[in-house]
C-alpha cells in the first residue's frame, strides 16, 4: 500500500484517484477548486462518468479515498505525487503549462523525504525536464525521482479504461522508480497488462503519437466519406470492409462531424507546434486538423441545404451537446462549433442533451433548452443530431415527423435508418451515405 496524492480532481485526476484507491492504496485527491472538493466531501460527484459514483463511494467507505484542498500537507504525507492538472491550449496552439508549473513549484517546496513525482497530464516532450528543474530549484532535498506516466483513458469509459488498460507507459530514469510504479499498478501488472518502461521523452511522445494517430484516422474516414458523397458510394460499407483488415482495424473509422473533446484538438495542435519548434513539420497531422475544421463547416452547408439556404428565422432542434455519448464534457464538441454559427446566421436554436445541458448553459445561456427530445423538436424546421446517444439511435421517426413543422434531418453521426427516413419522406443529410 502506497500513500498517493493526486493533484487535480478533473476527469483524469478523479478517475485516477478512485482507481488507485481501488488498487488498495491510500489516496487523496486534491484540487484548488474548493467547490469541487466540498461537493466530493458531501458525496456529490462533479462530473458524469459511468461507474465513477460507486467506485468513489465504496473506496471512501473503506477509508482509502479522501478529498482535500490542503495540497502542501498532502504532498508532505505522500510517497507518490501524481500531477493530473489541465494542460489546455494557448491561442497559438502551444500547450499552456502554467498549471503544471504552478503545481511543480508547490511540490518543490514540500518535498520532505524521498518521493516519486509522476505526471499524468499530457505534456509536450521536454516538459519532464522542465518540471525536474523546477523541483530542484526550490528545494535542498533532491531525493526524488521524476516519472512520466501518460494516461490513455477515454471519457465515457474512463473507469473501465483506468482499471483495465491496454498498456501502461512508464517513463522513468531509475530502476527504483520503475519498480515502485509497477507496484502502484500491481493489480494490472499481475494481470499481464503490458508495461512499457521507457525514457521520459519517449513516454511523453507516445501519448501525442497515439492521440494524433486516432485523430488522423477520424479525419481520414471523414475525407473518404466526403468523397463517397461525390462518387455515390456508401462510407459505412467502405469502413466496414476496411476494418476487417487486421492491419487497419475497425476502430475510429466512424464518419461524422469531426473530432472534438478535451484531447484530440489540443493534442494534435500541440504535436504540430512541437514539429515547428524542432523544424520538422508534422504534415499528416496538419492535414488531419485542416480536414477536421472543414468538416464542421460542411455540417453547416448541409443544414443550409435542408433549409433551402434560408437559415435566418428557422427553428433548429439540436440533439446532443457533449463531444461524445456517456459524458457531460462539452469541450470542443460539435455543438460548440455549429450552434454559434447557426445563431450568427439568425437561427433559433432548441437544444437537448441527456447530461450536458448544465455545462453547455455556462457558455450558451440563451438557447432554448428542453428536457427531452420530443419537446426539443416540436415545430422545428430541421433536426440536427450531433452526438450518438443511444436515446437518439432509438428515436421514433414517425413521432418525430409528426412533431416537426418540416420533416428534415441532419444525422451527422449516421445513426438513423436511411430506409425508414426515405419511407417517411424526410429530407435528410448524413455523412458519406448519399446513396
Interacting residue ranges for ligand NAD, rule: CB under 6 A: 7-13, 30-33, 36, 71, 84-87, 99, 102-103, 121-122, 151, 153, 155, 262-263
Catalytic residue selected from 29, 118, 228, 263: 263
Q: Which three cell numbers stand for residue 310?
A: 434560408
- As measured in angstroms, the least distance from the Cβ of 105 to ligand NAD is 9
Alpha-carbon distance values, 306 to 157, 180, 401, 427 (Å): 35, 59, 15, 7
- As measured in angstroms, the least distance from the Cβ of 122 to ligand NAD is 4
Quickly list DSSP for 106-126. Answer: HHHHH--S-EEEEE-S---TT
C-beta closer to ligand NAD: residue 40 or 311 = 40
Could you tell me if 17 and 25 are in contact, meaning their C-beta atoms sit under 8 angstroms apart? no
Q: Which three cell numbers stand for residue 165?
A: 488498460
Sheet containing 65-68: order of strands:
65-68, 26-30, 3-7, 80-83, 115-119, 144-148, 168-172, 195-198
- As measured in angstroms, the least distance from the Cβ of 54 to ligand NAD is 20
Identify the helix (H) or strand (E) that includes residue 147.
strand 144-148
Could you tell me if 101 and 127 are in contact, meaning their C-beta atoms sit under 8 angstroms apart? no
Closest of 206, 233, 93 to residue 152, by C-alpha? 206
Alpha-carbon distance values, 201 to 77, 149, 284 (Å): 29, 11, 21
C-beta closer to ligand NAD: residue 12 or 168 = 12
Per the annotation, the verdict on 263 as an active-site residue is yes
C-beta closer to ligand NAD: residue 215 or 347 = 215
C-beta closer to ligand NAD: residue 7 or 80 = 7
C-beta closer to ligand NAD: residue 138 or 226 = 138
Size of the chain in residues: 435
Residue nearest to ligand NAD (CB): 10
Pinpoint the alpha helices (H) of 67-199.
Answer: 71-77, 98-110, 127-137, 158-163, 175-184, 186-189
- As measured in angstroms, the least distance from the Cβ of 43 to ligand NAD is 18
Calpha distance 108→174 (Å, rounded): 20
C-beta closer to ligand NAD: residue 387 or 430 = 387
- As measured in angstroms, the least distance from the Cβ of 29 to ligand NAD is 9
- As measured in angstroms, the least distance from the Cβ of 411 to ligand NAD is 26
Calpha distance 122→148 (Å, rounded): 9
C-beta closer to ligand NAD: residue 363 or 371 = 363
Calpha distance 169→182 (Å, rounded): 10
Calpha distance 398→408 (Å, rounded): 12
Calpha distance 428→348 (Å, rounded): 20
Active site residues: 263
Amino acid at each position: 500500500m502506497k500513500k498517493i496524492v493526486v493533484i487535480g480532481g478533473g476527469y483524469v485526476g478523479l478517475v485516477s484517484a478512485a482507481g488507485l484507491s481501488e488498487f488498495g492504496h491510500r489516496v487523496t485527491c486534491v484540487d484548488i477548486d474548493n467547490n469541487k472538493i466540498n461537493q466530493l466531501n458531501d458525496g456529490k460527484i462533479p462530473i458524469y462518468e459511468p461507474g465513477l459514483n460507486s467506485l468513489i463511494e465504496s473506496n471512501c467507505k473503506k477509508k482509502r479515498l479522501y478529498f482535500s484542498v490542503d495540497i502542501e500537507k498532502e504532498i508532505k504525507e505522500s510517497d507518490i505525487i501524481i500531477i493530473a492538472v489541465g494542460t489546455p491550449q494557448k491561442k497559438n496552439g502551444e500547450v499552456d503549462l502554467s498549471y503544471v508549473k504552478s503545481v511543480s513549484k508547490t511540490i518543490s517546496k514540500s518535498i520532505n523525504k524521498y518521493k516519486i513525482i509522476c505526471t499524468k497530464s499530457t505534456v509536450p516532450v521536454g516538459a519532464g525536464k522542465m518540471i525536474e528543474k523546477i523541483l530542484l530549484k526550490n528545494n535542498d532535498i533532491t531525493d526524488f525521482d521524476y516519472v512520466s506516466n501518460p494516461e490513455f483513458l477515454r471519457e465515457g469509459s474512463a473507469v473501465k479504461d483506468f482499471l483495465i488498460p491496454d498498456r501502461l507507459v512508464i517513463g522513468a530514469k531509475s530502476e527504483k522508480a520503475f519498480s515502485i510504479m509497477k507496484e502502484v499498478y500491481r493489480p494490472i501488472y499481475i494481470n499481464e497488462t503490458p508495461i512499457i518502461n521507457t525514457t521520459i521523452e519517449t513516454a511523453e511522445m507516445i501519448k501525442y503519437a497515439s492521440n494524433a494517430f486516432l485523430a488522423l484516422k477520424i479525419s481520414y474516414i471523414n475525407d473518404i466519406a466526403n468523397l463517397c458523397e461525390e462518387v455515390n458510394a456508401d462510407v459505412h460499407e467502405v469502413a466496414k470492409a476496411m476494418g476487417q483488415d487486421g492491419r487497419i482495424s475497425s476502430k475510429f473509422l466512424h464518419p461524422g462531424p469531426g473530432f472534438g473533446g478535451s484531447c484530440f484538438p489540443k493534442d494534435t495542435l500541440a504535436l504540430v507546434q512541437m514539429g515547428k519548434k524542432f523544424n520538422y513539420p508534422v504534415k499528416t497531422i496538419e492535414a488531419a486538423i485542416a480536414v477536421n475544421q472543414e468538416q464542421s463547416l460542411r455540417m453547416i452547408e448541409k443544414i443550409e441545404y435542408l433549409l433551402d439556404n434560408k437559415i435566418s428565422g428557422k427553428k433548429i432542434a439540436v440533439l446532443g451537446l457533449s463531444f461524445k455519448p456517456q459524458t457531460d464534457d462539452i469541450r470542443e464538441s460539435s455543438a460548440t462549433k455549429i450552434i454559434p454559427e447557426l445563431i450568427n446566421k439568425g437561427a433559433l436554436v432548441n437544444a437537448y442533451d441527456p447530461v450536458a445541458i448544465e455545462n453547455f448553459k455556462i457558455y450558451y445561456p440563451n438557447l432554448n433548452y428542453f428536457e427531452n427530445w420530443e419537446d426539443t423538436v416540436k415545430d422545428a424546421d430541421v433536426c440536427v443530431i450531433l452526438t450518438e446517444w443511444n436515446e437518439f439511435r432509438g428515436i421514433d421517426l414517425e413521432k418525430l415527423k409528426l412533431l416537426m413543422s418540416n420533416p428534415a434531418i441532419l444525422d451527422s453521426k449516421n445513426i438513423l435508418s436511411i430506409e425508414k427516413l426515405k419511407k417517411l419522406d424526410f429530407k435528410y443529410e448524413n455523412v458519406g451515405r448519399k446513396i
